[in-house]
Amino acid sequence: MDAILQILVTGLTLGSMYALASVGLALTYGTMGMFNMAHGLFMTIGAYVCYSAFIVFGMPLSFAVLIGIAAGGVVGMAMHLLIVKFMLHRADFQTTIMVATAGVAILLQDLILKQYGAYPFKQPAQIEGQLTVASVVVTYQSIAIMTFAAALIGLMAWLLTNTRFGLAIRATAMNQDAAELMGVKTEQTYLQVLLIAGVLAAAAGILISSLASLSPDMGTNPLIRAFVICVVAGLGSVTGAGITAIVLGVMEAAIGYYIGVRFGFPTMLGLVILVLIFKPAGLFGKQGVVRA
Amino acid sequence: MASILSIQGLCSGYRNQQVLTDIDLEIEEGSVTALIGPNGHGKSTLLKTLSGLIPTWKGDTQFLGKALGNNAPDRARAGLILVPQGDQLFGGMTVEENLMMGTFARKDRDAVQDSLETVFTLFPRLKERRGQRAESLSGGERRMVGIGRGMMANGKMMMIDEPSLGLAPLIIEQIYEALGHLANQDRSILVVEENPSRVANVASAFHLMDGGRIAWSGNTNDLANSSDLLKTYLGG
Amino acid sequence: MNGNTALYRHLTALVAVLAVIAILPVFITQRYFLGEIILFMIWASVATQWNVLLGHAGVFSLGQMLFFAIGAYAVGMMGTYFDVSPWLAMPIGAIVAASAALVIGLACLRLETAYVALLTFAIVFMVSTLIRTDAECFITKGGLCTPLFGGGNGFSGFDDLGFRKLLKGQWVVGNYFVVLGVLALSLLASICVIHGRLGLAFRALGDSRIYAAARGMNRTRFHIIAFVITAFFTGLTGAVYAAHFRFAGPSLFEFPTLVFILAMIVIGGLKSTWGPIFGAALMMVLVEFAKEMGDVQNTLIGFVLVVFVLIFPKGLAGATSQLAQRISRQRSRKASDTARAI
């Protein structure tokens, strides 16, 4: 019983970070059919900027976290303005944008490597202490992670459903032409989507680095998790990605506990491929919605 | 009467394929104009170009005496509203949300509720289905949502692309009855229709498109007197 | 008939290209440069195979380095554990790579483009993580623990192709011609696929998937065939890589390597036949240049890749034909101007 509870705590912590890492990716794909290979770098940048703001510039922690998150948003917008914007109307956008963002990914990763070195450091955003409830250990850090992730995802969900700009994003995702005919400036919408994706990814990066550590390739691991989560959920399904992330997080924790940490991800991937054999468009995806 | 939309020497097409050649057209304010002609001769392309969904290659388009913006959102915001072919609804939204999307660019938020009532009066069916997702609607209901959504924009001019396309005769009648109501309210409407007899009672000006050009123009009387000419084009 | 003439034209070009590379060692004798050309031939072969998949068949696979690594590991493992000569291990490695491609293809290629890309990417990542984190000793030689798949260090120091004994100081030239042989096979296969019946099927599927399907063409089947064929030659190239460097390890899976080869294809020109060769040559030069500038190679690769995707999406192949078109158009315009003037 205790083992199960412990797994649940670990799994939910993992899952909430995965959710934060995946929903931005799902949103980008859902609105503009763009698969962002540099999404992992948004995470890395968020984590490093937060670190620099705190350690190098000596800002208060909460402020440093905000700056880190903002940096993710800025990089997201910059990517739209410098690259994505010019490619949106190409016939083979879906594949070429993956190539272009892969280029951006190794470029940024190399720059971070040059700036900070390959040696991993500890993320200062730490909250010490833990809570023991009936022999289950819950660190304050994981409570903070879950709360922070839930708050950010909740905020995004609220923005998407209750604001005018959220409405524009949803309309564009469902039907770009129709949205334009309603007066939605889709160019701006895409910019906002990449801003949101960057913000969420940077936040995920800060949280992940607080558990693991900072290194130039720290984004790869969560990025692949996010890929798998989005694929299982059905590409573009934002709510689906959130739910799948939590489920897969708990699953990974359970497999890690019973079989070994090494096999957490491989087992997950095996299951994913099995799911896709029976549901090629993912659990929450619709065959028609996926752009061929 | 004053001209609301004035087109001169318009050329357009898809990618490298030119479809429209030197279109000159004047649309009068407060009336229904019909664009007729066989399929595949540029009627829908003209509406798409006017709405800004596909770019204008050459030519001048004046709307209410002013040049129009280049893209669809700007044109929609200027009050030039397209009800596109195939309805193009927001499948994941409810009927009411779809209708409200029509008001996206409107400034007069207070009058939105009145517009919704107007749409519901014209299409009582939509009031019954207001909470239903658009993707689960029948073809006729989808068309009603499409037209209703266009009305919700409260634009200066509405362009409707083939309102009868793919519908059962009974439903077509209902749709044209609704268009007749709109025509009586002195709204400016440009409607595309393959079959001129369907629009004959609703519209007051007619333009025949052939091979990407305007081949013939006239009013209701001209239409009645030119049945032979129309037969050659439409194979009636 | 038309297809056949194109096929013959490309085959003639192939003979010419191979002949040029074959006489290079007469003029270039420094081991360093020969080594660089060997590396170029290896990457050119991988890029060519990947271009067949990506540009022609329309399979957006990001898993090519897995097949490359399978070939390399086959040579490394058989050499380390059973002292099998690379000559025998190379074809076995290629066959294992093709078999792995068949299994992965059956599981993944039914899906849409983006799903294929992500899944193949995830599979490679999974395999590399499993190998890297494996700490269980399979054999212990001289106090050195080697996990079954070599762990984080991989395999090295196993038997080479035998030229060190045979040619002594000139052994690199021996390896050079073995690699050239593999490149020749790889290019020949790619030309036959692109300009043969399979290529025709790919073009039909590319033009209209629905129409091709209505004519009874099974897209997934063609995709799997392409996937397996290219995996075979990619695996063979990986095997010759291992035989030349006497190394096979998880560093082959690194993301920058993948992007490096992707850049060769994009810069050479997706959908072309010869683009990847030129792309590979250009990227090799670029990397040399970057090394001199102070190890900025990934920054440079990323930058060049983005620039090409943005400005020359059809790569060098497309850019040159664009340029040629523009020049001929200008010339004809000038001609007509002078005609009018007269």
Interface predicted TM-score (ipTM): 0.90
Tell me phi and psi for residue A121, to 5 degrees.
-120, 175
For B139-166, what is the mean pLDDT?
91
Q: What is the pLDDT averaged over residues C230-259?
A: 92
**Which pair of tokens denotes residue B97?**
């949300």
Give the Cα separation of C282 and C299 in Å (integer). 16
pLDDT at B103 over 90: yes
**Residue range(s) defining the domain that contains residue B104:** 88-146
Q: What percent of chain C has a predicted confidence (pLDDT) above 90?
A: 38
Q: CATH number of the domain at A210, please.
A: 1.10.3470
Q: How confident is the model at residue B235 (pLDDT cuts 50, 70, 90)?
A: low
A183 touches B at CB < 8 Å = yes
* Predicted confidence (pLDDT) per residue in B24-61, tens digit: 999 988 889 999 888 888 899 999 999 999 999 989 89
Spatial distance between the Cα atoms of C82 and C98, rounded to a whole number of angstroms: 22
Classify C151 as helix, strand or coil: coil
Q: Give the pLDDT of residue C30.
A: 85
Residue of C115, C130, C291, C303 to mutate, testing the A interface (most A Cβ within 10 Å of its Cβ): C115
Instruction: Show pLDDT as tens, one digit a residue, over chain A (292 residues).
Output: 778 888 999 899 999 999 999 999 999 998 988 989 999 999 999 999 999 999 888 888 889 999 999 999 999 999 999 999 999 888 888 888 999 999 999 999 999 999 998 888 888 777 777 878 777 888 888 899 999 999 999 999 899 888 988 999 999 999 999 999 999 999 999 999 999 999 999 999 999 998 888 988 898 889 988 988 888 888 778 888 899 999 999 998 898 888 887 888 888 888 888 888 777 777 877 644 333 2
Per-residue pLDDT at A104: 95
Q: Cα B92 to the chain's mean position, in Å? A: 24
The confidence score (pLDDT) of residue A43 equals: 95
Closest CA to A79 of A37, A115, A114, A48: A37
Task: Tell me which of C318 and B20 has the higher pLDDT.
Answer: B20
B204 neighbors B221 (Cβ within 8 angstroms): no
Could you read off the pLDDT of A217-245 as tens digits, one per residue?
898 889 988 988 888 888 778 888 899 99
Chains linked to A by 3 or more Cβ pairs within 8 Å:
B, C
Classify residue A226: in a domain, yes or no.
yes
User: What does the pLDDT read at residue A290?
Assistant: 33
DSSP-assigned letter for residue B31: S
Q: What does the pLDDT look like over B186-196, one tens digit per residue?
A: 889 999 988 88
Nearest chain A residue to C116 by CA distance is: A231
Is residue B142, in this structure, part of any structural domain at all? Answer: yes
Query: Nearest chain A Cα to C119, which residue?
Result: A228
Interface of A with B in 62-121 (CB under 8 A): none
Report the DSSP pairing between strands B189-193 and B157-161: parallel
Q: How many domains does chain B have?
A: 1
In a domain, B179, yes or no: no
How many domains would you assign to chain A? 1
Which of A182, A185, A186 lies nearest to residue B101, judging by beta carbons? A182
Contact C123 A269 (CB under 8 A): yes
For the entire predicted model, the pTM comes to 0.87
In a domain, A286, yes or no: no
Domain that holds residue A243: 2-278
| pLDDT for residue C320 is more than 80 | no
Most confident range, picked from A77-86, B205-214, C82-91, C207-216:
A77-86
Chain A residues within 8 A of B149 when measuring between CB atoms: 182
C142: left (phi over 0), alpha (psi -120 to 50) or beta: left
pLDDT digits (tens, 9 = 90+) for C44-83: 999 999 999 988 888 899 999 999 999 999 999 998 888 8
